Structure 1
Amino acid sequence: MRTKRLWATAGLLGLTTLLGSGAAFAAPGDDDKGRTDAGTSFRTATPIDQGQKGTATASTGDYLYWSFPADAGQRPRVEATVKLPESARGTGATWRIDVYDGLRRRQACRYGMQARTAGTASSVELACTLRTVRAWSEPWANDPLPGTYYVRLTATGLRTADLGQPVTAEVKATSKDVGGAAAVDGTLGAPLVPGTRPGSDSEPEDGWSSGWWTDRWVWTGIGGVLAALAGVGGYTLTRGTGRATSAGNSPSGV
């Protein structure tokens, strides 16, 4: 009887410990905002902020996804570094990054090494600079618009024997603020931010821009003031010349 009580007590203690440890393991998953390890599809893409580094520990043949927000007037640039162990070198695989907008339309790179063959190098450096994000566009156009952008990193041209080789990767998205030079007379009704996983956030820290205010208004105002001053100055000079001419043409002896 005593033995049965001991076993029962031990079972209760074990169950309590298991539940407690389960809660401890579940807690980090409740808030994955700090997690940057890559997702494996558009729907599971890991959100990162501009300037934040995304990471991945994966295998050759995997598709790795991250997402980041980009606003109107910004020119995003995505950089990626893939580190290859000795066993993954010399396979002839080509590593590639592609960037898609919130509608999952592939966006062309203006410049940058978007794809590169690994060869025997220990790492591969990739980069893609997009066109400037516009506040508004025609429905038929493929212009980059404010919202979520997806980064996909993968290797192509792999042989069957090369699949599953361990690799590590890092990505980082930054942007250059182009300003009023890229402003257009129109605004998007809402940023292209598709539904994301609960707890994820695809919005910039300082929110989305209003879409109508750019530094172009400042330069327009300065131009208007200068034009007004030039008009006043020209009128003053012309008026003075007219008076001098009239006085010189007046009849003598009057």
Structure 2
Amino acid sequence: MRRTRLFFTGLLLACTSLTMFTGAAIAAGDDGDGDDGAKKAPTEAGTSFRTATSITQEQKATASASTGDYLYWSFPADSGQRPTVKATVDLPDAQTRHSGQTWRIDVYDGLRRRQACTYGTQARTVAADAARVDLACTLRTVRAWSEPWANDPLPGTYYVRLTVTGLADSDLGLPVSTSVEAVSEEVGGAAAVDGSLSTPLVPGSTGAADDHDWASGWWTSRWLWTGAGAVLAALAGIGGYALTRGTGRPTRVPPAV
């Protein structure tokens, strides 16, 4: 009976600890949530890295431009995210064009290093009678830390550049309508590494991590599984001890005759 009480006491303590740890983990993961999604989507684009229009993820930005312009937007991406940038170009009336066109999107990190697309149509050539161009670029998973010589995606600002790279000179300057959106798949602890940046790569930042409410900081879901494993190991130890220990009373040995 005593062993049973000890076992269930250990079980209750383990479950309580796991519940408290999970609650703290959820709270830590929610610290970066804000009302960015409620902000009005931008209706213009920048013309360089320095004038790039800032957008949030899952916010579709639009802009009217002339064929041949370089259009720039920027968005934040945190560790554990796998961003995908989508762009659409609505072309001028086919009767005003003289040839096909090739459009392209490129994505750069906060250090202005071009990031490779793992999949997606980064560049597309369309015929002279096409009405629109759809482009997409999926980056590698953003890492919390990397070697200085590596070109891995790191937390911070990412820049999107959209432009036409091939067309007849007579089609330069024709009006187009564009839209850009960045979305991410949350990879989570599966992509976590042992290390982190002191602050996200955000040009012009003061260096304080608190300035970036979208950044998750030290937390990844790997901590949850580590904590759960520790609790289960403790529970197994308590249960094994309770089931294998003696009754606690030494057996009386009869006196020798």
TM (norm. structure 1) is 0.71
Verify: 1:195 aligned to 2:195, yes or no. no
- 1:59 counterpart letter in structure 2: S
Match of 2:231 in 1: 225
Summarize the alignment of residues 215-254 of structure 1 with structure 2, pairs less than 5 Å apart. Answer: 215-233=221-239
Match of 1:86 in 2: 93
8 Å CA contact 1:36, 1:48 repeated in 2: no
TM-fit CA distance, 1:49: 1.2
Summarize the alignment of residues 164-175 of structure 1 with structure 2, pairs less than 5 Å apart. Answer: 164-175=173-184
Answer with 1 or 2: which has the greater Rg.
Answer: 1
Match of 1:243 in 2: none
Say which SS state the counterpart of residue 140 (structure 2) adopts.
coil
Structure with more relative contact order (C-alpha pairs < 8 Å, separation 6 or more): 2
Say which SS state the counterpart of residue 132 (structure 1) adopts.
coil
Match of 1:142 in 2: 151
Match of 1:211 in 2: 217
TM-fit CA distance, 1:228: 3.3
Distance 1:90 1:101 in 2: 36
Verify: 1:55 aligned to 2:47, yes or no. no
8 Å CA contact 2:141, 2:191 repeated in 1: yes
TM-fit CA distance, 1:179: 1.4
Over 4 Å off, 4+ runs? 203-206, 231-240
Verify: 1:36 aligned to 2:46, yes or no. no
8 Å CA contact 1:91, 1:118 repeated in 2: no
Verify: 1:113 aligned to 2:115, yes or no. no
Distance 2:172 2:153 in 1: 34
User: How far does the alpha carbon of each residue in 1:94-117 deviate from its partner, in whole angstroms, 9 at most, with x for none?
Assistant: 111110001000011111111111
User: How far does the alpha carbon of each residue in 1:132-157 deviate from its partner, in whole angstroms, 9 at most, with x for none?
Assistant: 11111110011111111100001112
Match of 1:74 in 2: 81
- 2:215 counterpart letter in structure 1: S
**Larger displacement relative to structure 2 (97-106 or 54-63):** 54-63
8 Å CA contact 2:84, 2:137 repeated in 1: yes
RMSD: 2.6
Match of 1:101 in 2: 109
Distance 2:216 2:123 in 1: 36
TM (norm. structure 2) is 0.71
Aligned residues: 202
Say which SS state the counterpart of residue 168 (structure 1) adopts.
strand
Gaps of 5+ in 2: 1-39, 247-257
Gaps of 5+ in 1: 1-32, 197-202, 241-254
Match of 2:165 in 1: 156
8 Å CA contact 1:64, 1:154 repeated in 2: yes
Distance 1:175 1:204 in 2: 22
